[in-house]
Structure 1
Amino acid sequence: MRTRLLAATLTALAAVSLAACSSSGSSSGKATTAAGSPTAPAASTAAPSDAAPSDAAATPSAPAPDTAAPTAGGTTGTPAPDAGTPGAPAPAKPAPPADAGLPAKPGTDLTGKLVAALDAIDPAIVGGKPDQAVDRARNQCQSMFQFPKDTGKLVELANQRFTSPDHPQGFGPDTAAKINDALRATLCPAPR
């Protein structure tokens, strides 16, 4: 008796599920079996055709936690998202290397040209410390690579980088702009 009751209940649920998923738009309220013969509508489980189907009947079931769906590579696990699918996350853009735009340490000839160019602006910029001036210039070149069109920011950064005991707040925006021009002419690679 239990088996028959269970079979009848499952058949009724399957019929309701098929009726809910059916696109025929039948408004008679009767569901049909796979063979096409009408079945009696279940009053407690049948939903009107204009109402939203119940979640249990309309929602496709997800794979059980202990079973895994095959992925695009043929292995089991979480399926890989299709890049062409709307709503799929875009592939991450690789970050530039940390030393992007940082020129190599210059040789003695290039160091001499750089120091001469900075001394022509103001001898206090180098202040007898060419190694320190070269390090500051290399870091400024990296900023020029990162912000090639933001001249205001580059002037501000040069003013912060190039300081001396007599100029702890920098040499001012006019001198900082001249420093940037001198670096472009000597040490900094041309932007691509």
Structure 2
Amino acid sequence: MKAREGELIADPVSAKKLFAGEAKFVWGAQSVDGLPPQKLPEIAFAGRSNVGKSSLINALTGRKALARVSQTPGRTREINFFDLGSRLMLVDLPGYGYAKASKELAAEWQTMIFAYLRGRASLKRVVLLIDARRGVMAVDEAVMELLDKSAVSYAIALTKSDSLKPAELAEVHDAVEAKAKTHTAAYPALFATSAYRGAGLEHLQCHLAALALP
């Protein structure tokens, strides 16, 4: 696997071993006051409601139900923490932007998540999930600006990439990549993934495993 310019990746074998090892739910926080102690490097997954955050976490770890997949968008209201072999913490953030015709972040989400982003020294990276079928929406752009403001490094992962034909996916990939270059905290690597087909998971695993404890 060849690293892209500016990208730090772990060895594929060690990355696969980390994500295939022990993984368990350890904490659910309904407010910033209820967050767990900071003991491990944290990778947070953020995205619109129903973009596939829980599905991606399950696919990365080879589990079917590590993270609960809700059939009702906007149902998950907690920040959920998953310990990966006592070397890395995966954090499933509540989805944002679920409201009919809403283009603005819910005040509740913005307050809670902004406080987490700004006050979490153990947070090493955010994986921002973008639905490949829709590209960057206004609410996603608002979150990117929030992450820029928080000075939190984030990498973008396109989800449900198997829903598009190769030419269509390439077009979306280029458009999202160009958008990311206009944001100061966006990481240069862009990942096209499919939790259903398994596409792009190894590359993302290698990227995230590089941030884990030895």
Q: TM-score normalised to the size of structure 1?
A: 0.17
Structure 1 or 2: larger helix share? 1
**Structure 1 or 2: more strand by fraction:** 2
Flag the structure with more relative contact order, 1 or 2, with Cα contacts below 8 A and sequence separation at least 6. 2
Larger Rg: 1 or 2?
A: 1
